[in-house]
Structure formats: structure tokens, C-alpha cells
């Protein structure tokens, strides 16, 4: 399956076109000076994309989840969305659509000494999901993850503050710069920390901190899209080296960290399958 | 996870997921509530 395709190229293309450009295509913001709030904003996408980005057309699923937690409502549609997408493709959106994943993949290409991420840090994303997306918003009614999200800082926080246009309705700047305080600085600090980490390790945000990745990870072992290691595998560890998540696929097939990128299928002993059994 | 349990989890999960989506649209009016504002800079 997909053996003869240049998969990394198609993956970059998919991440750029669907993840980055189509989901951030509200160019009218240049004249309206306010974010899109039409009917499409009622739908979320299966990857991180800050709904406060000037060009965002859809909503971020994690932004929605904490919104519902903060307002103490039960997001039935959102839960259904997570279950159905997760059961069909698992974490494939992380590998094929997420623009933050694209940034990590590109920055890792910078030639320097590289480091492996300790395995126990993989549990960090579950802690962030439970604490910052669910429990803290539920108790304090504040969107904690959005206030700290490094991708939100990159595509929403920084652009809005740098641009800060005059709102045509109020004839005043959209962002009152005096309201920018410690949380904004902290958020930028977290972004800088991760940007530096991206150079030295493979996809650290996806593995350690992404709460959406934690949700999809739960479904990875039972999703329709899975991988199969043939009995002829000689554990040459080629899959481990090529994997953007540093997974030894030959040993741990369909790991919760697998982003279904298909890169490991360049080895003739690993193939993808799309079936229940 | 063996094939039997994987199949059971898949079908039960898919049924629950689809019912939740329908319930969200019909009962919860989730789609209308999801229109968030850019207040999380």
C-alpha cells in the first residue's frame, strides 16, 4: 500500500494545503479586522488550529473541549466526533494534516546534534489533557490550555499583537496592549522553548504535550487504519530511524504514539491495512 | 489486543460515537454553541 509514492512529499503537501492553507483561508480579515464567526466556525477540525488565528475558518477541537469544560456543558457532538474519527484513522491527522507537526518536521531537519526524548515524558500529554483542558477549566471557568498553547501563540497571539489594527466599529485598536501581561509572556516563553526543542528532538510537542494527540492515541490500537509487521522482519531498526516519532514499529506496532504517517512502510517488512480485524 | 475484543470495541465505539453526534445535533444544539470567540490570545 502506497509503496511507490514519495510519501514524505505528499505528507508535506497535505499538511500545507489542508492543514495550513484551507483551514486558515479567511483573507477578508484584512478588511473586516475581526476573526471569522460564521457557520463554519461551528465545526472543528481533527488537528490543532487556533480558532483565534486571524485567518482561521474552523474551530480547534481542544479549544472547544475546554470551552465546554469551562461552561460546564456536555459536548455530545464533540465526543462523537472524537470517537468516530479516532476509530477510523487513529492519530493519522497528526501525521497528515497538523500544521504544527509540519513545523516540527521541518525544524528537525536543521543539522545539529540530536537527542532522544525519554519515554516517561510521553505521559505528559495525558496530564496536560486532564489538568489544563478539562479539570482546571471546569473548576475555574478559564481556558487554561488556550492561554498557554504555543501554537496558539504562534498563529494567533503574536500576529494579532503585531498587527493590532484599528477596529472599524469602535475606532480603537483591536488589542488593548495594556492588557497583555504575565500569561502572554509565559505563552511566548513556552513557544520559544518548544521551537528550540524542535531542532534537537523529533516532534517533542506531539509526544509530550499535545492534548489532542492524547485523545487520538487512545484509539490507535483499535482504529481501522493500522500496521502489520511481517514475520520475516529481522529487527533491523530501519523503521525506528525513519519514524518521526522515534517508534520501534518492529517491536511496538500501532503504538499510542504512532501518527500513521506510513514512513515505516518504506521497509518491505511493514505494511498498512485498513480493516477491523 | 486480540481480534475479538478489537472488533467488539470498534463496533460498540462506533455506535456510541454516531449516537453522540446525532444527539449533539438534535438535542444539544452543539453546533450553535461551538461558535467561539477569539478571546484566548
Rounded to a whole number of angstroms, the distance from the CA of B26 to the nearest CA of chain A is: 10
Domains identified in chain A, total number: 1
Tell me, yes or no, whether A24 lies in a domain: yes
Q: Cβ of A76 and B18 within 8 Å?
A: no
Is the pLDDT score of A237 beyond 70?
A: yes
Tell me, yes or no, whether A239 lies in a domain: no
From A52, A78, A219, residue closest to B41, measured CB to CB:
A52
- Using the 8-state DSSP alphabet, how is residue B27 labeled? I
Query: Domain coordinates of chain B in residue numbers?
Result: 3-27
Mean pLDDT of chain A: 92
SS3 B28: helix
Q: Report the C-alpha dihedral over residues A17, A208, A63, A151, rounded to 10 degrees.
A: -50
Tell me, yes or no, whether A233 lies in a domain: no
Give mean pLDDT, residues B11-38: 76
Domain enclosing residue A87, as ranges: 7-226
At residue A3, the pLDDT reads 52
Measured CA to CA, the distance from residue A256 to residue A245 in angstroms comes to 11
| DSSP characters over chain A | --TTS-HHHHHHHHIIIIIIIITT--TTHHHH-S---SGGGGSB-SS---TTSTT--SB-HHHHHHHHHHTT---HHHHHHHHHHHHHHTTHHHHHT-HHHHHHHHHTTS-S---PPPGGGGGHHHHHIIIIIIIHHHHH-S-HHHHH-HHHIIIIIHHHHHH-PEETTTTEESS-GGG--HHHHHHHHHHHHHHHHHHHSSSHIIIII-HHHHHHHHHTTTSSEEEEE-TT-----HHHHH-TT---TTTSTT-TT-----GGGGSTTEEEEES--
The string of pLDDT tens digits covering residues A170-199 is 888 888 888 888 999 999 999 999 999 999
Greater confidence (A251 vs A27) lies with A27
Q: What is the pTM of this model?
A: 0.91
Task: Identify the bridge partners of residue A213 per DSSP, sorted by sequence position.
Answer: none
Greater confidence (A253 vs A127) lies with A127
Contact A261, A244 (CB under 8 A): yes
At residue A106, the pLDDT reads 95
Q: Which of A212, A153, A175, A155 is nearest to A24 (CA)?
A: A155
Contact A68, A75 (CB under 8 A): yes
Task: Identify the bridge partners of residue A64 per DSSP, sorted by sequence position.
Answer: none
A158 touches chain B (CB under 8 A): no
At residue A21, the pLDDT reads 95
Q: Cβ of B13 and A222 within 8 Å?
A: yes
Greater confidence (A170 vs A219) lies with A219
Give mean pLDDT, residues A58-78: 90
At residue B31, the pLDDT reads 54
Q: Which residues on B lie below 8 Å from A228 (Cβ)?
A: none
Give mean pLDDT, residues B14-40: 71
Q: What's the grid cell of residue A112?
A: 545539529
Per the rule left: phi > 0, alpha: psi between -120 and 50, beta: everything else, A175 is beta
Give mean pLDDT, residues A132-145: 95
Tell me, yes or no, whether A52 lies in a domain: yes
Q: Cβ of B20 and A74 within 8 Å?
A: no
% of chain A beyond a pLDDT of 90: 71
The string of pLDDT tens digits covering residues A86-125 is 999 999 999 999 999 999 999 999 999 999 999 999 999 9
Is the pLDDT score of A163 beyond 50?
A: yes
At residue A92, the pLDDT reads 96
Is the pLDDT score of A48 beyond 50?
A: yes
Is the pLDDT score of B28 beyond 70?
A: no
Measured CA to CA, the distance from residue A157 to residue A147 in angstroms comes to 9
Number of A to B CB contacts under 8 A, please give it: 116
Q: What's the grid cell of residue A182?
A: 504575565
Q: Cβ of A277 and B6 within 8 Å?
A: yes
Give mean pLDDT, residues B18-30: 81
SS3 B1: coil
Greater confidence (A27 vs A39) lies with A27
Amino acid at each position: 500500500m502506497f509503496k511507490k509514492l514519495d510519501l514524505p512529499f505528499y505528507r508535506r503537501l497535505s499538511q500545507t494545503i489542508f492543514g495550513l492553507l484551507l483551514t486558515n483561508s479567511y483573507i477578508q480579515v484584512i478588511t473586516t479586522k475581526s476573526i471569522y464567526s460564521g457557520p463554519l466556525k461551528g465545526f472543528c477540525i481533527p488537528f490543532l488550529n487556533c480558532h483565534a488565528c486571524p485567518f482561521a475558518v474552523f474551530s480547534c477541537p481542544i479549544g472547544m473541549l475546554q470551552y465546554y469544560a469551562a461552561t460546564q456543558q456536555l459536548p455530545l457532538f464533540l465526543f462523537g466526533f472524537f470517537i468516530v474519527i479516532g476509530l477510523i484513522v487513529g492519530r493519522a491527522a497528526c501525521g497528515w494534516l497538523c500544521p504544527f507537526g509540519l513545523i516540527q518536521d521541518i525544524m528537525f531537519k536543521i543539522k545539529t546534534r540530536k537527542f532522544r526524548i525519554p519515554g516517561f515524558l510521553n505521559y505528559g500529554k495525558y496530564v496536560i489533557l486532564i489538568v489544563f483542558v478539562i479539570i482546571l477549566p471546569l473548576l475555574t471557568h478559564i481556558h487554561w490550555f488556550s492561554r498557554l498553547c504555543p501554537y496558539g501563540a504562534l498563529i494567533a497571539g503574536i500576529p494579532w499583537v503585531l498587527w493590532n489594527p484599528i477596529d472599524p466599529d469602535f475606532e480603537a485598536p483591536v488589542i488593548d496592549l495594556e492588557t497583555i501581561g504575565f500569561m502572554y509572556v509565559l505563552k511566548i516563553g513556552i513557544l520559544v522553548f518548544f521551537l528550540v526543542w524542535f531542532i534537537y528532538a523529533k516532534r517533542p510537542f506531539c509526544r509530550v504535550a499535545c492534548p489532542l494527540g492524547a485523545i487520538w492515541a487512545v484509539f490507535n490500537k483499535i482504529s481501522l487504519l493500522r500496521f502489520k509487521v511481517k514475520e520475516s522482519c529481522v529487527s533491523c531498526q530501519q523503521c525506528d530511524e525513519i519514524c518521526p516519532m522515534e517508534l520501534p514499529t518492529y517491536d511496538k506496532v500501532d503504538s499510542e504514539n504512532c501518527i500513521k504517517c506510513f514512513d515505516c512502510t518504506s521497509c518491505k517488512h511493514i505494511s498498512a491495512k485498513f480493516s477491523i480485524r | 489486543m486480540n481480534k475479538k475484543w478489537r472488533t467488539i470495541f470498534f463496533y460498540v465505539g462506533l455506535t456510541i460515537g454516531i449516537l453522540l453526534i446525532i444527539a449533539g445535533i438534535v438535542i444539544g444544539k452543539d453546533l450553535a454553541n461551538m461558535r467561539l470567540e477569539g478571546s484566548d490570545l
